[in-house]
């Protein structure tokens, strides 16, 4: 009988923790705090958190084979040299949309960096619709637009056979599946895979497990849900001790641990008093499958 256990491992609170990715060579979890304009790294051995501040809101971070990171910040792609704390711009996009910024991103099985944009709110709950897009940064530094008229480009991942690309546009409250050509990096033929229920609230970040099942973080829903792409059904729910759950990934020595980010921005004083762990990062263990 499997028994899920949850603990807070990063108690340094994030305004908008996002895009966790496990870095084996450092035994560390790398992630961003979007609204604090920081890329962060938590060392699982020393329990220390180090961060590098950047000059714009940073939506996503990914590992580079040669060391360091690629990030999507503001409306540009860039490299981050961790030791030098320096940022080198690769490409600038959407210069005609000053209210846009990059959001979630991830590297595909061939090393291409996918990341999408969104319009910022002009006031609480108000944003221009369908201003975002999904882009791919190729290893030769060229950039291709994959999708247009996106509201909030968010969670993304690929099936284990690399034939399907999964993507979330948060305001559609759904997970979409696309045909994927791993050789060219092109996507096609979109369909709705899963429509979130009212209690699950809005989908945010996403990852895939060793059985090919998707895990979707539900912001304001206080949970991550496991979806079977073969049936389009939810098969598991894990509730967390914070409502603004933003993203998730697997990591640890054998990738059997799930790391879940959260946020405290968007909560008023009364809500924060009820959620003392909002903005922390949680570790979930005890799954019935081997990661």
Give the position of tokens 């030791």: 83
Rounded distance, CA 56 to CA 60, Å?
12
Q: Is 275 annotated as belonging to a binding site?
A: no
Rounded distance, CA 124 to CA 25, Å?
40
Q: Is 154 annotated as belonging to a binding site?
A: yes
Sequential DSSP letters for 227-259 = EETTTTEEEEEEE-SSSBEEEEEEESTTS-EEE
Under the phi-then-psi rule, with left for phi > 0, alpha for psi from -120 to 50, and beta for the rest, what region is 65? alpha
Q: Is 204 annotated as belonging to a binding site?
A: yes
Q: Is 43 annotated as belonging to a binding site?
A: no
Q: Which is catalytic among the residues 33, 204, 220, 254? A: 204
Q: Is 121 annotated as belonging to a binding site?
A: yes
254 is catalytic: no
Q: Is 48 annotated as belonging to a binding site?
A: no
Instruction: With CA atoms as reference, report the closest residue to 175 among 187, 185, 190.
Output: 190
Annotated binding residues for substrate, written as ranges, equal 101, 103, 121
Annotated binding residues, written as ranges, equal 18, 101, 103, 121, 154, 204
Q: Catalytic residues, which ones?
A: 204
Annotated binding residues for a divalent metal cation, written as ranges, equal 18, 154, 204
């Amino acid at each position: 009988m499997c028994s899920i256990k949850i603990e807070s491992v990063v108690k340094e609170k994030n305004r908008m923790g996002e895009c966790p990715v496990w870095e084996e060579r450092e035994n560390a979890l790398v992630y961003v705090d979007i609204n604090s304009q920081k890329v962060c790294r938590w060392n699982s051995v020393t329990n220390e958190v180090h961060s590098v501040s950047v000059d714009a809101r940073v939506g996503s971070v990914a590992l580079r084979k040669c060391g360091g990171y690629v990030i999507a910040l503001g409306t540009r792609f860039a490299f981050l040299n961790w030791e030098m704390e320096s940022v080198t711009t690769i490409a600038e996009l959407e210069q005609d949309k000053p209210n846009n910024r990059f959001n979630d991103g991830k590297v595909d099985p061939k090393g291409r960096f996918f990341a999408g944009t969104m319009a910022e709110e002009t006031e609480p709950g108000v944003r221009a619709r369908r201003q975002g897009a999904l882009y791919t940064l190729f290893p030769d530094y060229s950039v291709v637009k994959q999708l247009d008229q996106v509201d909030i480009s968010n969670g993304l991942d690929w099936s284990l056979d690399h034939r399907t690309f999964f993507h979330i546009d948060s305001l559609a409250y759904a997970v979409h599946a696309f045909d994927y050509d791993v050789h060219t990096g092109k996507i096609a033929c979109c369909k709705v895979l899963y429509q979130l229920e009212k209690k699950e609230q809005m989908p945010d970040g996403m990852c895939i497990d060793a059985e090919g099942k998707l895990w979707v973080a539900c912001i304001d829903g206080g949970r991550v849900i496991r979806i079977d792409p073969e049936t389009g059904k939810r098969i598991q729910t894990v509730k967390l001790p914070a409502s603004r759950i933003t993203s998730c990934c697997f990591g640890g020595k054998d990738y059997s641990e799930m790391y879940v980010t959260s946020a405290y921005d968007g909560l008023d004083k009364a809500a924060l008093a009820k959620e003392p762990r909002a903005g922390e990062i949680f570790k979930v263990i005890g799954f019935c499958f081997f990661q």
